[in-house]
Structure 1
Amino acid sequence: MVENKMKLLTIGELLLRMSTTNGFRFSQTNDFRVQIGGAEANVCVLLSQLGVETEFLTRIPANDLATLAVNELKKYNVNVSNCSFGGERMGLYFVENGNQIRQTQVIYDRSNSSFSTIQKEDVNWQKAFEQATHFHWSGISPAISQKAAEVCKQGILLAHEKGLVISSDFNYRSKLWQYGKKPAEIMPELLQFSRITVADLDAVEIYFGIKTDKKEKDSLRFEKAYLELKKHMPHLETLAMSFRKSEGLTHTYSAMLMNDNVMYESQQHKIHLVTDQIGSGDAFTAGLLYGLMNNLEPQEIIEWATACGVIKQSVPGDFAITGIDEVKHFLKEGVSNRIGR
């Protein structure tokens, strides 16, 4: 189990997720299912279920929709006591669930949300960092607005000053970068302090201009990306990536880890039915952090992270609703359609 002294602090936007029901398209639907999500919150929710103390920082309006959202985090024992209130609206995102023929579609409605208009003075960093040992952030926050990017930078710099373990997720979202800055102008400065990071090859190229040959094996491209990233991220020790491929109606899901200059690959999992793909990357990140915080062996870490990413895809909504026993069972038995009784 995780030592009691371990605590992860993160910051991000807490969102209302509005999903079409029964496979309807946006243009067909007449109702939406409301759920709560957000990349950083998703990481906290899974880590909390795995026994890690977590705290989530955000700025939300003082209304009942915000209460609905924070109560969902409280349900999973995520500390939200240092969230600030201000602004007029929650950020929204709408989901049209795809299938094996067409892809899932997302529409964001986050402009002028409470988090996008956050100010530096809205976050009591000194109080929030009390007892924290790890600080996690993702590329989504700096993409939302210049102000959110500045607050994120504020947290990163203080975490670095205090000697915390800083982890990040590249999380490039092309639809969010709308305030006049390109990702390559913002992200390298923020990422330079990360000791642990999760990325994908496309985002590595967008943020740092690091290109890899698509004709080469994924392992070679991954290793090259790691070596090149270390030139820009001097504190980088651990890089992880998940890889998804389609084989007809079946998805294959696997991952790779570079830890202290040694590469590890997970086993490949076949997923014959994806219930909800959104949030699988956050579950993967949470599994990675869990393994590192528990000092698991590197091969165990990447297998654990991959298992969390796979299990999430069986769960509707943003959150990976699972626990240690289920992940261990999956690692031992693999995909199963049997009844547990």
Structure 2
Amino acid sequence: MGQVVTFGEIMLRLEPEGYNRFIQADKFLSTYGGAEANVAVSLSNFGINTSFVTKLPQNKIGEAAVNSLRRFGVDVESVLYGGDRVGIYFLEKGASQRPSLVIYDREGSSIQKAQSDEFDWELIFKDAEWFHFTGITPALGDNLAEICLEACKIAKKKGIKISCDLNYRQKLWSREKAKKVMSALAPYIDLCIANEEDAFDVFGIEVQKSDVLSGTLKYDGYKNVAKQLMEKWNFNQVAITLRTSLSAFDNRWAAILYDGEQYYISKTYDIHIVDRVGGGDSFGAGLIYASLMNFDAQKSIEFAVAASCLKHTIEGDYNMVTTDEVLNLMNGDRTGRVKR
């Protein structure tokens, strides 16, 4: 089996203890994470040969970020070094009816200043079977959008499968900019991953008769979104995650997978959340793994949703679960009883 290559920014994550607010904090817990790095760790924990590509400063913080990946078996040989800083994000965990809050401090990070001639994609993709990125990476600047496009072109030429989670971030770019850039990248993508907000914010495709704020989700509307995405861009598959937010602690979690002919809907999980950051990334990693393992479509969406369900129970960005744990959950072991 070939390697999965992911490309993006890994950041230092700083958060107050427990559910303290920023204004209460006198110390911060530090970990590392980022959308594509999270996918790489998930896949490596599933036993997939995975490589993460980024640019980091040649200092102890950059080294610590790389070590956070290396400890889970992610190949970091294609990480570039240079620039002055690691991007940072601050997380204040929500509780009950108070939402979580994220503040970015990533301006001028090493990856944000990277240039296209620094990345030898022919070499990076030498053993690759799959390439994954998210909409966060091209949002970091025109230079990153150019690098993503170049990577996609070379991957497509080599017959490498490409997946992208749209992951719209309004703090990084406008809807107009996102639509322009992602429209140039979309023709290269085989598997498109989104939620209802991403589809609207990036491509203007709106879910009818659903309201994420009130928790009203109509599956027919999501099917229509998947169909419109497929018809517009000719993806091989479209996956739409379905999150019903009852509070910051309690969500219902499911997803739809569409292959152009049939819709596959997963079972729904009632989740009491420990940490929801990285939940979408773990879902994407689950789909990639399922595809590499040649799971059928229904089993694929069940595996991805179960993997993501488990991620919501784990502190930090990374999903530190095994395939056996995911399979146990998707096959019906939902009780959380102690394993002895």
Per the shorter chain, which TM-score range?
A: over 0.9
Match of 1:253 in 2: 253
* Paired residue secondary structure (1:254): strand
The offset of 1:187, in angstroms, is 1.0
Q: Which one of 26, 42, 46 corresponds to residue 30 of structure 1?
A: 26
3-state SS, counterpart of residue 163 of structure 2: strand
Distance across 2 between alignment mates of 1:244 and 1:212: 13
Aligned residue in 1 for 2:144: 148
- Secondary structure (helix, strand or coil) at the match of 1:182 reads helix
Structure 1 residue 100 displacement after superposition: 1.2
Contact 1:135 1:159 in 2 (8 A): yes
Q: Once the 2 structures are TM-superposed, how far is the Cα of residue 84 of structure 1 from its aligned partner?
A: 0.7
Q: Is the 8 A contact 1:237 1:261 kept in 2?
A: no
The count of residues paired between Structure 1 and Structure 2 equals 334
Q: Are residues 1:134 and 2:133 paired?
A: no
1:186-245 deviations in Å (ceiling 9; x for gaps):
1111122111111112211222222331359632222222222123312x1111121111
- Look up the equivalent residue of 2:338 and give its one-letter code: I
Q: Which residue of the partner structure matches residue 269 of structure 1?
A: 269
Deviation at 1:162, TM superposition (A): 1.4
Cα 1:28–1:327 change in 2 (3 A) is same
* Paired AA for residue 136 in structure 1: H
Asked whether the 8 Å contact 1:139–1:170 carries over to 2, the reply is: yes
| Structure 1 residues 57-116: Cα deviation after superposition (integer angstroms, max 9, x where no partner) | 000000000110101111111111011111100011000011112011000011110010
Point out where structure 2 has 5 or more consecutive residues left out of the alignment: 211-215
Secondary structure, in 3 states, of the residue corresponding to 2:75?
A: coil
Q: From the superposition, tell whether residues 181 and 119 of structure 1 become closer, same or farther in structure 2 (CA, over 3 Å).
A: farther
RMSD: 1.7
1:139/1:187 contact within 8 Å kept: yes
Superposed CA offset, 1:260-309 (max 9, x none):
421011111111x2100000100000011111111111111111000011
Distance, in Å, in 2 between the alignment partners of 1:304 and 1:67 is: 33
Q: Give 3-state SS (helix, strand or coil) of 2:128's partner.
A: coil
* TM-score when normalising by structure 2: 0.94
1:105 is matched with 101
Matched, 1:201 2:191: no
1:44-59 pair list within 5 angstroms: 44-59=40-55
| Percentage of pairs with the same residue | 34
Question: How does 1:44-83 map onto structure 2 within 5 Å?
Answer: 44-83=40-79
Within 1, Cα distance between the matches of 2:231 and 2:323? 36
| AA at the equivalent of 2:125 | F
- Looking at structure 1, the residues matched to 83 and 72 of structure 2 have their Cα atoms a distance apart, in angstroms, of 26
Q: Which moved more, 1:205-214 or 1:19-28?
A: 205-214
Match of 1:116, SS state, is helix
1:92-149 CA-partner distances (Å, limit 9, x unpaired): 1000011112011000011110010010122121110101011111000011111111
Q: Is the 8 A contact 1:21 1:31 kept in 2?
A: yes
The 3 A distance-change label for structure 1 pair 217 and 96 is: closer
2:331 is equivalent to residue 326 of structure 1:
no
- Residues 250 and 38 of structure 1: is their aligned pair in 2 closer, same or farther, counting only changes over 3 Å? closer
**1:181 positional shift:** 6.7
Structure 1 contact 188–232 (Cα < 8 Å) conserved: no
Q: Is the 8 Å Cα contact of residues 244 and 251 (structure 2) preserved in structure 1?
A: yes
The answer as to whether partners of 1:60 and 1:66 remain within 8 angstroms in 2 is yes
1:247 to partner: Cα distance: 4.2
